[in-house]
Amino acid sequence: MLTNRLKSDLQARIAHAVTNREAAVDVIKELQRHYGWLTDEAVAEAAGLLGLTPLQVEELATFYEMIYRRPVGKRVVHVCDSISCWAMGGESLMAHLAAKLGVEPGGTTADGMFTLLPCCCLGNCGEAPTLMIGDTLYGRVTPERGEEILSNARETAATVPEGPGTPQEEENV
Ligand code: FES
């Protein structure tokens, strides 16, 4: 359920947008941050706030890779599988991280900490292979460096317990 504070914050954002649709992704991402993923309840709330139908919200939600319509771990690890990253070892990186976490791509670790997802180009092709956790991009990620990034993300999550989309403290590399 939405808090009154979050509800009025979202209403203010919508009021400042030129059209409600312009604010839609922002609203959806905030609801996702609130619930941890975009629940059916969140879809209905977004629709109510934005004056859209739940189906319209659903269409937007399923278009964006960073919107999760299923439960995810505290941190979602997006590993790019587009051409530049694939050519620079992205496949081995994904396989290594999957083995380390004990999940298949798309899966969530038993402790609920990480969801590992392949994704389309993250716009960081010059630094391939790339992965992203929260809002932080990591470039030129070797399998070993990937492990280190996960280990840091695990430590950060212990002190910053918010859900997916939470910016990590580590700088881009
Ligand atoms: S192909 Fe991976 S970031 Fe563009």
Q: What is the mean pLDDT of residues 105-114?
A: 96
Which ligand 1 atom minimizes the distance to the CA of 122? 3
Q: What is the mean pLDDT of residues 121-133?
A: 97
pLDDT tens digits, one per residue of 64-106: 989 999 999 999 999 999 999 999 999 999 999 999 999 999 9
The binding site for [2Fe-2S] cluster consists of: 80, 85, 121, 125
Q: What is the C-alpha separation between 14 and 26, in angstroms, rounded?
A: 9
pLDDT tens digits, one per residue of 14-40: 999 999 989 999 999 999 999 999 999
CATH of the domain at 84: 3.40.30.10
Residue 171 has pLDDT above 70, yes or no: no
Which three-class secondary structure state does DSSP give residue 132? strand
- What is each CA distance from 25 to 30, 47, 75, 112, 148, in whole angstroms? 9, 11, 20, 25, 31
The answer to whether the beta carbons of residues 79 and 117 sit under 8 Å apart is yes
C-beta of 85 in contact with ligand 1 (< 6 A): yes
Residue 6 has pLDDT above 80, yes or no: yes
**Which residue range is the domain that position 58 belongs to?**
4-63
Rounded to the nearest angstrom, the distance between the alpha carbon of 144 and the centre of ligand 1 is: 19
- Those residues whose C-beta lies under 8 Å from the C-beta of residue 140, and which sit 6 or more positions away, are 127, 128, 129, 173
Look at 159 and 81; give whichever has higher pLDDT. Answer: 81
What pLDDT does 1 receive? Answer: 86
147 shares a domain with 99: yes
- Those residues whose C-beta lies under 8 Å from the C-beta of residue 133, and which sit 6 or more positions away, are 75, 76, 77, 78, 149, 153, 168
84 shares a domain with 40: no
81 shares a domain with 29: no
19 shares a domain with 51: yes
Q: What is the mean pLDDT of residues 118-128?
A: 97
Q: What is the C-alpha separation between 29 and 171, in angstroms, rounded?
A: 22
